[in-house]
Amino acid sequence: MGRLIRPALLAEHRLRIVDRVAGEVRPGEEAVIADLSRPGVPEQALAGASGVIHLAADPRVAASWEEVYHANVVLTRRVLDAASARGVPRVVLASTVHVMGEYNRPEHRPVDPAWEPRPCCSYGLSKVVVEALGRLHADRTGASVVGLRLGGLGYALDEARYLGMWLSGRDAGALMRAALTAGPGWSVHFGMSANTRRHWDLGSARKLGYAPQDDSEPYAATAGPPATVTCRIFDDRENPPAGTEQPGGFR
Protein backbone atom coordinates (compact mmCIF):
# COMPACT_ATOMS: atom_id res chain seq x y z
CA MET A 1 0.00 0.00 0.00
CA GLY A 2 2.83 2.37 0.78
CA ARG A 3 4.14 2.10 -2.76
CA LEU A 4 0.69 2.82 -4.22
CA ILE A 5 -0.11 5.91 -2.15
CA ARG A 6 3.28 7.65 -2.29
CA PRO A 7 2.74 9.43 -5.63
CA ALA A 8 -0.44 11.09 -4.36
CA LEU A 9 1.18 12.10 -1.08
CA LEU A 10 4.23 13.56 -2.84
CA ALA A 11 1.96 16.08 -4.54
CA GLU A 12 1.60 17.85 -1.18
CA HIS A 13 4.21 16.47 1.23
CA ARG A 14 7.82 15.48 1.60
CA LEU A 15 8.00 11.86 2.70
CA ARG A 16 10.16 9.83 5.03
CA ILE A 17 9.73 6.15 4.16
CA VAL A 18 10.41 3.69 6.99
CA ASP A 19 10.86 0.05 6.03
CA ARG A 20 12.97 -2.96 6.93
CA VAL A 21 14.22 -3.34 3.36
CA ALA A 22 15.64 -0.86 0.88
CA GLY A 23 13.55 0.23 -2.08
CA GLU A 24 13.28 2.95 -4.69
CA VAL A 25 13.62 6.47 -3.31
CA ARG A 26 11.95 9.15 -5.40
CA PRO A 27 12.54 12.91 -5.45
CA GLY A 28 10.96 14.41 -2.35
CA GLU A 29 11.54 11.26 -0.30
CA GLU A 30 14.10 10.05 2.19
CA ALA A 31 14.41 6.48 3.39
CA VAL A 32 15.01 5.06 6.86
CA ILE A 33 15.90 1.37 6.68
CA ALA A 34 15.06 0.08 10.14
CA ASP A 35 12.75 -2.10 12.19
CA LEU A 36 10.12 -0.08 14.06
CA SER A 37 9.96 -2.73 16.77
CA ARG A 38 13.52 -1.91 17.88
CA PRO A 39 13.97 0.59 20.75
CA GLY A 40 14.44 4.18 19.64
CA VAL A 41 13.61 3.57 15.98
CA PRO A 42 10.07 5.07 16.05
CA GLU A 43 11.40 8.20 17.78
CA GLN A 44 14.14 8.50 15.15
CA ALA A 45 11.68 7.99 12.31
CA LEU A 46 9.27 10.66 13.57
CA ALA A 47 11.78 13.38 14.37
CA GLY A 48 10.51 16.60 12.79
CA ALA A 49 7.45 14.93 11.25
CA SER A 50 4.18 16.82 10.76
CA GLY A 51 2.22 13.60 10.36
CA VAL A 52 2.52 9.82 10.28
CA ILE A 53 0.68 7.18 8.26
CA HIS A 54 1.20 3.87 10.05
CA LEU A 55 0.76 0.92 7.69
CA ALA A 56 3.08 -1.72 9.17
CA ALA A 57 1.09 -4.78 10.29
CA ASP A 58 0.51 -8.51 9.95
CA PRO A 59 -2.65 -8.69 7.78
CA ARG A 60 -3.12 -12.47 7.77
CA VAL A 61 -6.66 -13.40 8.73
CA ALA A 62 -5.50 -16.92 9.62
CA ALA A 63 -2.73 -15.72 11.96
CA SER A 64 -2.92 -16.54 15.66
CA TRP A 65 -3.81 -13.92 18.25
CA GLU A 66 -0.25 -13.97 19.58
CA GLU A 67 1.15 -13.20 16.14
CA VAL A 68 -1.17 -10.31 15.32
CA TYR A 69 -0.98 -8.91 18.85
CA HIS A 70 2.77 -8.37 18.68
CA ALA A 71 2.82 -7.23 15.04
CA ASN A 72 -0.22 -4.94 15.21
CA VAL A 73 -1.03 -3.90 18.76
CA VAL A 74 2.42 -3.68 20.34
CA LEU A 75 3.98 -1.99 17.31
CA THR A 76 1.18 0.56 17.02
CA ARG A 77 1.55 1.45 20.70
CA ARG A 78 5.26 2.10 20.16
CA VAL A 79 4.57 4.31 17.15
CA LEU A 80 1.92 6.29 19.03
CA ASP A 81 4.20 6.73 22.03
CA ALA A 82 6.89 8.06 19.68
CA ALA A 83 4.37 10.39 18.03
CA SER A 84 3.47 11.74 21.47
CA ALA A 85 7.12 12.20 22.42
CA ARG A 86 7.84 14.03 19.15
CA GLY A 87 4.67 16.11 19.23
CA VAL A 88 3.40 14.82 15.87
CA PRO A 89 0.00 16.51 15.35
CA ARG A 90 -1.51 14.10 12.78
CA VAL A 91 -1.72 10.30 12.81
CA VAL A 92 -3.41 7.99 10.30
CA LEU A 93 -3.79 4.34 11.36
CA ALA A 94 -4.50 1.53 8.92
CA SER A 95 -7.38 -0.50 10.28
CA THR A 96 -9.45 -3.04 8.35
CA VAL A 97 -13.01 -3.98 7.35
CA HIS A 98 -12.45 -7.14 9.43
CA VAL A 99 -13.10 -4.95 12.49
CA MET A 100 -16.74 -4.98 11.33
CA GLY A 101 -16.63 -8.35 9.64
CA GLU A 102 -19.60 -9.91 11.42
CA TYR A 103 -21.83 -7.17 10.00
CA ASN A 104 -21.06 -8.27 6.44
CA ARG A 105 -24.41 -10.04 6.16
CA PRO A 106 -27.41 -9.00 4.03
CA GLU A 107 -29.51 -8.00 7.04
CA HIS A 108 -26.94 -5.38 8.17
CA ARG A 109 -26.00 -3.71 4.90
CA PRO A 110 -24.94 -0.99 4.40
CA VAL A 111 -22.56 -1.17 7.35
CA ASP A 112 -22.21 2.08 9.31
CA PRO A 113 -18.69 2.83 10.66
CA ALA A 114 -20.30 4.29 13.81
CA TRP A 115 -21.64 0.91 14.90
CA GLU A 116 -19.98 -1.09 17.66
CA PRO A 117 -17.09 -3.21 16.30
CA ARG A 118 -17.81 -6.88 15.59
CA PRO A 119 -14.57 -8.49 14.39
CA CYS A 120 -14.65 -11.72 12.43
CA CYS A 121 -11.12 -13.00 13.09
CA SER A 122 -8.01 -12.51 15.22
CA TYR A 123 -6.67 -9.98 12.73
CA GLY A 124 -9.87 -7.94 13.01
CA LEU A 125 -9.75 -8.15 16.79
CA SER A 126 -6.19 -6.83 16.83
CA LYS A 127 -7.31 -3.82 14.82
CA VAL A 128 -10.15 -3.18 17.28
CA VAL A 129 -7.44 -2.73 19.90
CA VAL A 130 -5.40 -0.58 17.49
CA GLU A 131 -8.42 1.70 17.05
CA ALA A 132 -8.84 1.93 20.83
CA LEU A 133 -5.20 2.95 21.11
CA GLY A 134 -5.76 5.62 18.46
CA ARG A 135 -8.75 7.05 20.33
CA LEU A 136 -6.77 7.05 23.59
CA HIS A 137 -3.88 8.85 21.87
CA ALA A 138 -6.22 11.52 20.49
CA ASP A 139 -7.86 12.04 23.88
CA ARG A 140 -4.56 12.35 25.70
CA THR A 141 -2.62 14.48 23.20
CA GLY A 142 -5.25 16.43 21.28
CA ALA A 143 -3.79 15.17 18.02
CA SER A 144 -5.79 14.38 14.91
CA VAL A 145 -6.00 10.56 14.75
CA VAL A 146 -7.86 8.88 11.89
CA GLY A 147 -8.53 5.14 11.68
CA LEU A 148 -9.19 3.84 8.16
CA ARG A 149 -11.01 0.51 7.87
CA LEU A 150 -9.49 -0.44 4.57
CA GLY A 151 -10.80 -2.88 2.03
CA GLY A 152 -8.73 -4.92 -0.40
CA LEU A 153 -5.85 -3.23 -2.21
CA GLY A 154 -3.10 -4.33 -4.55
CA TYR A 155 -4.27 -7.71 -5.85
CA ALA A 156 -6.20 -9.00 -8.83
CA LEU A 157 -9.99 -8.97 -8.62
CA ASP A 158 -10.31 -12.60 -9.67
CA GLU A 159 -12.86 -13.55 -6.99
CA ALA A 160 -16.34 -12.01 -6.72
CA ARG A 161 -16.20 -11.72 -2.92
CA TYR A 162 -13.60 -8.93 -3.22
CA LEU A 163 -15.65 -6.69 -5.52
CA GLY A 164 -17.48 -4.85 -2.73
CA MET A 165 -14.41 -4.04 -0.64
CA TRP A 166 -11.93 -3.21 -3.42
CA LEU A 167 -9.80 -0.07 -3.01
CA SER A 168 -7.92 1.13 -6.08
CA GLY A 169 -4.44 2.62 -5.83
CA ARG A 170 -5.70 5.99 -7.07
CA ASP A 171 -8.49 6.09 -4.50
CA ALA A 172 -6.14 4.92 -1.73
CA GLY A 173 -3.89 7.92 -2.34
CA ALA A 174 -6.87 10.28 -2.29
CA LEU A 175 -8.15 8.70 0.92
CA MET A 176 -4.82 9.17 2.70
CA ARG A 177 -4.57 12.80 1.60
CA ALA A 178 -8.09 13.43 2.91
CA ALA A 179 -7.32 11.71 6.23
CA LEU A 180 -4.38 14.04 6.77
CA THR A 181 -6.74 17.03 6.72
CA ALA A 182 -8.98 15.84 9.59
CA GLY A 183 -9.39 18.11 12.58
CA PRO A 184 -8.22 17.28 16.12
CA GLY A 185 -9.64 14.21 17.81
CA TRP A 186 -10.45 10.64 16.86
CA SER A 187 -12.49 9.52 13.87
CA VAL A 188 -12.86 6.23 12.00
CA HIS A 189 -13.99 5.64 8.42
CA PHE A 190 -14.34 2.92 5.81
CA GLY A 191 -11.89 2.97 2.91
CA MET A 192 -13.10 1.48 -0.38
CA SER A 193 -13.60 2.68 -3.90
CA ALA A 194 -17.02 3.69 -5.22
CA ASN A 195 -17.93 0.08 -5.93
CA THR A 196 -21.40 -0.76 -7.18
CA ARG A 197 -21.39 -3.82 -4.87
CA ARG A 198 -20.05 -2.00 -1.80
CA HIS A 199 -21.63 -2.93 1.55
CA TRP A 200 -19.80 -0.27 3.53
CA ASP A 201 -21.00 3.30 4.13
CA LEU A 202 -18.48 5.90 2.89
CA GLY A 203 -20.47 8.89 4.13
CA SER A 204 -18.08 9.86 6.92
CA ALA A 205 -15.04 9.44 4.65
CA ARG A 206 -16.65 11.71 2.05
CA LYS A 207 -17.03 14.39 4.75
CA LEU A 208 -13.24 14.36 5.06
CA GLY A 209 -13.06 15.27 1.39
CA TYR A 210 -12.61 11.75 0.02
CA ALA A 211 -14.17 11.44 -3.45
CA PRO A 212 -13.51 7.92 -4.80
CA GLN A 213 -13.31 7.66 -8.58
CA ASP A 214 -13.08 3.94 -9.30
CA ASP A 215 -15.53 1.02 -9.32
CA SER A 216 -14.80 -2.71 -9.32
CA GLU A 217 -17.79 -3.48 -11.54
CA PRO A 218 -15.77 -3.78 -14.79
CA TYR A 219 -14.06 -6.81 -13.19
CA ALA A 220 -17.34 -8.52 -12.24
CA ALA A 221 -17.71 -10.47 -15.48
CA THR A 222 -14.41 -12.30 -14.95
CA ALA A 223 -14.46 -12.58 -11.13
CA GLY A 224 -15.06 -16.18 -10.12
CA PRO A 225 -16.03 -18.07 -6.97
CA PRO A 226 -13.71 -18.17 -3.94
CA ALA A 227 -10.76 -20.51 -4.17
CA THR A 228 -10.80 -21.24 -0.42
CA VAL A 229 -12.79 -20.17 2.62
CA THR A 230 -10.52 -17.84 4.57
CA CYS A 231 -12.67 -15.87 7.00
CA ARG A 232 -16.27 -15.43 8.17
CA ILE A 233 -16.37 -11.94 6.67
CA PHE A 234 -16.92 -13.62 3.30
CA ASP A 235 -19.71 -15.96 4.39
CA ASP A 236 -23.29 -14.72 4.09
CA ARG A 237 -24.97 -17.74 5.60
CA GLU A 238 -26.10 -18.16 9.19
CA ASN A 239 -24.19 -21.44 9.49
CA PRO A 240 -20.71 -21.08 7.95
CA PRO A 241 -19.14 -24.06 6.20
CA ALA A 242 -16.66 -26.35 7.90
CA GLY A 243 -13.05 -25.29 7.68
CA THR A 244 -13.54 -21.64 8.59
CA GLU A 245 -12.25 -21.98 12.15
CA GLN A 246 -9.06 -20.02 12.78
CA PRO A 247 -6.39 -20.26 15.49
CA GLY A 248 -7.56 -18.97 18.83
CA GLY A 249 -11.18 -19.97 18.26
CA PHE A 250 -12.01 -17.13 15.84
CA ARG A 251 -13.44 -17.67 12.37
3-class secondary structure for the chain? CHHHHHHHHHCCCCEEEEECCCCCCCCCEEEEECCCCCCCHHHHHCCCCCCEEECCCCCCCCCCHHHHHHHHHHHHHHHHHHHHHHCCCEEEEEEEHHHHHHHCCHHHCCECCCCCCCCCCHHHHHHHHHHHHHHHHHHHHCCEEEEEEECECCCCCCEHHHCCCECCHHHHHHHHHHHCCCCCEEEEEEECCCCCCCCECCHHHHHCCCCCCCCCHHHHHHCECCCCCCCHHHCCCCCCCCCCCCHHHCC
Q: Domain 2-249, what architecture?
A: 3-Layer(aba) Sandwich (3.40)
Question: What pLDDT is attached to residue 240?
Answer: 44
CA distance 96 to 152: 9
| Active-site residue, 210 included | no
Which segments in the chain show pLDDT lower than 70?
236-251
Domain extents in the chain: 2-249
Yes or no: say if 84 and 136 are a contact pair by the CB < 8 Å rule: no
Distance between CA atoms of 188 and 2, rounded to whole angstroms?
20
Catalytic residue among 103, 123, 162, 210: 123
In this predicted structure, what is the pLDDT of residue 154? 81
> Global pTM?
0.93
Which pLDDT tens digit goes with each residue over 189-225?
A: 999 999 999 999 999 999 999 999 999 999 999 999 9
pLDDT for res 228: 79
